[in-house]
Amino acid sequence: MDHSAHQTSTGHDHAVHQGHGVQHAGVVTWGAAAKATLHCLTGCAIGEILGMVIGTALLWDNVPTMILAITLAFIFGYSFTLFAVRRAGLDFKTAVKVALAADTVSIAVMELVDNGIIALTPGAMDAHLSDGLFWSALLGGFAVAFLITTPVNKWMIGRGKGHAVVHAYH
């Protein structure tokens, strides 16, 4: 990223982090929060879908399937950030710390909401991969999780937490 576009006037105020919509003074755009949430949701969705597909295909009970899906959601969610900050030159240990700081709350909220919706949708826990209910509950859960997690990420980024930690390495 070309950081030469930052403001360099006499009052050099690092107010706008170009290309991200992040305001270092505590004001964050909804677009930046949505982008951070979408980044997180992508990893979570890949992991969760993979876990649900594996557990369902192996005819596992609901609890082990959800545990696998949630575990893979965290692994894939963290891995997106981990790979990005490693490409930026961070050593592995520091990259893991950044990924944990950037994504833990976002992934946890997303997983809580998404799995809560799946668990509360009648019949969804017993649906099979070929059932529309399986996919509609899963995708509907992702949509609601996105809507709930975006304000959480906006609040965290505005306080220099969550995905704001990653922006220093772009």
pLDDT at 2 over 80: no
Percent of the chain having pLDDT more than 70? 82
26: pLDDT confidence band, cut at 50, 70 and 90?
A: low
Using a pLDDT cut of 90, give the percent of the chain over it. 59
Q: Which of 10-14, 75-79, 131-135 has the lowest mean pLDDT?
A: 10-14
- Find the helix packing angle between 92-120 and 132-158, rounded to 10°: 130
Q: Which of 7-16, 107-116, 158-167 has the lowest mean pLDDT?
A: 7-16
Q: Is the confidence at residue 28, as pLDDT, over 50?
A: yes
Mean per-residue pLDDT, 27-38? 90
Read off the pTM: 0.80
Q: Which of 1-5, 62-66, 71-75 is modeled with the greatest confidence?
A: 71-75
